[in-house]
Homo-oligomer: A and B are copies of this chain.
Amino acid sequence: MKNYVIMILLLAVTAWTVVAQDTPPAVVEDFKPSVINQPGKQFPQVNSEGRVRAQISAPEAHRVQLDISAVKYDLVKDDKGVWTGESAPQDEGFHYYQLWVDGAAVPDPGSLYFYGASRWGSGVEIPAKDQDFYAMKDVPHGQVREIHYFGKSSNSMRRCFVYTPPGYDQNLNTRYPVLYLQHGGGEDETGWSNQGRANLIMDNLIAEGKATPFIIVMDNGSWAMPRMERPAQQAAPPQGERPRQGERPAGFRSMAGFAEGFSKTLLEDIIPMIDANFRTLADQPHRAMAGLSMGGMQTRAITLANPEVFSHVGMFSGGSYSLEDVNNAPGFKEKIKFLFVSFGSRELENRRAGFGGDPRENTEALKNAGMNTHFYVSPQTAHEWQTWRRSLYEFAQRIFK
């Protein structure tokens, strides 16, 4: 009898699998233009399932694909030469993507462009249940300021973006804490305000009284290369001084070397420049560092080596601090007032065991050792910007209190 039941169950599962394979689930026809399309552009669109529908006119092409979350979806041509097609459902939040037209990888002419994967490319926004926290609202807004300055350690002009909170230009006797906030690998100093909406997250938190107003500095942690010639608001190294294609930038050898190079830039160029030009509270208790992915690894290396510089630390999808890390870093345990570690839930599910140790257990061990830690998991998101928007939202409410 028991075997009989199991056999029926197996047959049912098999039948369901066959049906599922033969008839792909119907696409829900409630597509709307992505909110980060270029003005007036109707595609890409997103539906209530989180599918992305792309469309492009390419009358002479014989193959066009939508390439998102590492999967390529074939588009279908109509009799006017317009290609249309959609992806499987995507997680909530921001995703990079591109189109392939007869073997050429190109940005979608319909979307706005964002710097990631070491190129300016297309982005699409899947509406999220919690999108209110990064929405543009009629609340007092801070400013995002583009700053050009000379970096002695790299002997070059550099660029960063600085968020100043609402009231910064009115409250001239107020000095502010500072968060140094780093992007991920293949991204740059534009990421946290363009994809991350760091300024809107802060404006909304401050309007609700949930965060202490502070300055955010978003600089380029990728490498210290000269960048004299470039237009404002986008970065381009000068010709003749950039590494050849496929060549690693000077000094890039390992993650340790990578963090070391940026450490010098941060400590010797960026922080002194910010303290000289903004009304900062220029001491350790009012200085934080956080970063995502590669920026999180840089945050770990730099704060472990310099606990007299930073008091609040955030590591988003970049690993964790082990008890051994902390025990080997003199002063870290005593001087760091708050340590925040976060991941997307899908990252934890997919994580290989043992890569730097389990981050939740590591963070718990630090709490047990007496540190003020917080471990945050972003629901139903992967190694993507929605995880990092939420991480900043959670982190920002807990620092400089």
Contacts and interface: CB of A to CB of B under 8 A. Distances in A.
A277 B37 CA distance: 30
Contact of A120 (B113, B203, B236, B278): B113
Instruction: Classify the secondary structure of A's interface with B.
Output: loop
A232 B120 contact: no
7 contacts: A32-B239, A61-B101, A101-B101, A107-B113, A137-B157, A194-B232, A195-B231
Contacts of A238: 35
A7 interface: no
Interface in A211-265: 228-240, 242-243, 245
Given A33-B239, A144-B233, A109 B106 contact: yes
Interface size of A as a range:
35 or more
A345 interface: no
Contacts of A106: 56, 99, 101, 104, 106-107, 109
A284 interface: no
Given A35-B238, A102-B102, A105-B109, A144 B277 contact: no
Interface of A: 32-42, 56-64, 81, 99, 101-107, 109, 112-114, 118-121, 123, 135-138, 141, 143-150, 157, 169, 172, 188, 190, 193-195, 197, 199-200, 203, 228-240, 242-243, 245, 277-278
Copies in the complex: 2
**Which of A33, A107, A232, A245 neighbours the largest number of chain B CB atoms within 10 Å of its CB?**
A232
A233 to B, nearest CB: 5
Nearest to A63: B60
Contacts of A33: 239, 242
A261 B38 CA distance: 22
A230 B136 contact: yes
A234 B61 CA distance: 30
Contacts of A38: 119-120, 236
A143 B147 contact: yes
A229 B277 CA distance: 31
Nearest to A43: B245
A383 B136 CA distance: 36
A169 B277 contact: yes
A200 to B, nearest CB: 7
A114 to B, nearest CB: 8
